[in-house]
Amino acid sequence: MGRYARAVRPSISLVVPMYNEEESIEHAVGVATRALDEFASRHEIVIVDDASTDRSLEIVRRLAAADPRIRVIRHDHNEKLGGTLRDGFAAALMDLILYMDADLPFDPREIGRAISAMEVTRADMIAAYRYDRTGEGVRRAVYSYVYNGLIGVLFGWPHRDINFAFKLMKREILDAVELRSEGSLISAELITKSKNLGFTVQQIGLDYFPRTRGRSTLSSLGVIGKIFRELVVLYPEMRHPRRRASRPAAAPTEDRATP
Ligand SMILES: Nc1nc2c(ncn2[C@@H]2O[C@H](COP(=O)(O)OP(=O)(O)O)[C@@H](O)[C@H]2O)c(=O)[nH]1
Ligand SMILES: [Mg+2]
């Protein structure tokens, strides 16, 4: 348990979007489970399979059959990151929700530090930024710099690393915020709408581990183009506070078929 001894251990839902991660997912779930056993009073891991075409689904179904805390949601068609996270968030049942990518881009034991930061700052969300993200080359570092700058200018606040997959949030945020992005705008939408409603977001820095297995699929021009198309449509509602009417109880497509 180390430095971050637990005054209060919260219950945590880990939400993992997954697309063709047969080389990563079992390892990621194993490492995350050990971290959650340490830092959470109770936990679940909600894996949303976005119509993978490799063995990923088979692997997570096997893991879910062996551990009831692992839940699998299955998309029949590829719905992209936004649709995938929305389904994962809707299915999450615990007090805190953490979003993490399937390629394990950070040490899940950082959850302990984030919980501690949440207690200290009384923030509703801890969003992490990467200390160094040049490991994936100049192009991605520039994209990310420009995107963070643009969102900061458009919405009037600086945020260091919007698209990084470490966001630990209280469930009140997901109860209040209505997310509509289908694509990778979802992180900006989550953060802007949370702030608009008065939730506080604090940032911590993390060591980032670029993937060494499988392929990165989220920096294509198609993905970036969709961010901008959705930004044009959703900009007005991302600027102004609006509370959602009600939150659906659970995602409709939960995969109960365990082998
Ligand atoms: N829902 C969904 N998730 C995806 C898709 N492509 C990748 N992912 C997941 O999104 C996360 C980040 O993907 P990655 O390719 O590492 O993107 P990067 O970190 O931006 O390079 C991983 O959990 C992937 O499995 C997709 O088409 N749909
Ligand atoms: Mg990645």
pLDDT in tens, 200-216: 999 999 999 988 888 88
Confirm or reject: Cβ of 18 under 6 Å from ligand 1: yes
Listed in order, strand segments (DSSP E) in the chain are 11-18, 42-49, 70-74, 96-99, 125-130, 167-170, 201-206, 254-255
Q: Which residues pair with 16 in a beta bridge?
A: 47
Candidate of 75, 101, 221 to mutate for ligand 1, largest count of ligand atoms within 8 Å of Cβ? 101
pTM of the shown model: 0.92
- Cα dihedral angle (106, 108, 112, 117), rounded to 10 degrees? 40
What pLDDT score was predicted for residue 259? 40
Pick the CATH number of 11-243 from 3.50.50.60, 3.20.20.140, 3.40.50.2300, 3.90.550.10: 3.90.550.10
Q: Which residues are CB-contacts of 257 (< 8 A; sequence separation ≥ 6)?
A: 61
Q: CA 4 to CA 114: how far, in whole Å?
A: 10
The mean pLDDT of 129-134, rounded to a whole number, is: 90
For residues 112 and 27, the answer to whether their CB atoms sit within 8 Å is no
Q: What is the pLDDT of residue 33?
A: 98
Cα of 225 vs centre of ligand 2, distance in Å, is: 19
Task: Determine whether the shortest distance from the Cβ of 82 to ligand 1 is under 6 A.
Answer: no
Burial code of 215-235, b = ≥16 C-beta within 10 A, e = fewer? eeebbeeeeeebbeebbeebe
Residue 99 has a pLDDT of 97
Overall average pLDDT of the 66-90 stretch: 98
Residue spans per domain, the chain: 11-243
Q: Given a cut of 70, is residue 7 above it in pLDDT?
A: no
- The whole-number average pLDDT for the span 218-235 is 93
Q: How high does pLDDT run on average in the chain?
A: 92
Give the distance (Å) from ligand 2 centre to CA of residue 153.
Answer: 26
CB 103 within 8 A of CB 211: yes
CB 223 within 8 A of CB 184: yes
Confidence of residue 133 (pLDDT cuts 50, 70, 90): confident
Q: Is 141 in the pocket of ligand 1 (CB under 6 A)?
A: no
Bigger pLDDT: 5 vs 58: 58
Counting from 1 in the atom list of ligand 1, the atom nearest the Cα of 48 is: 1
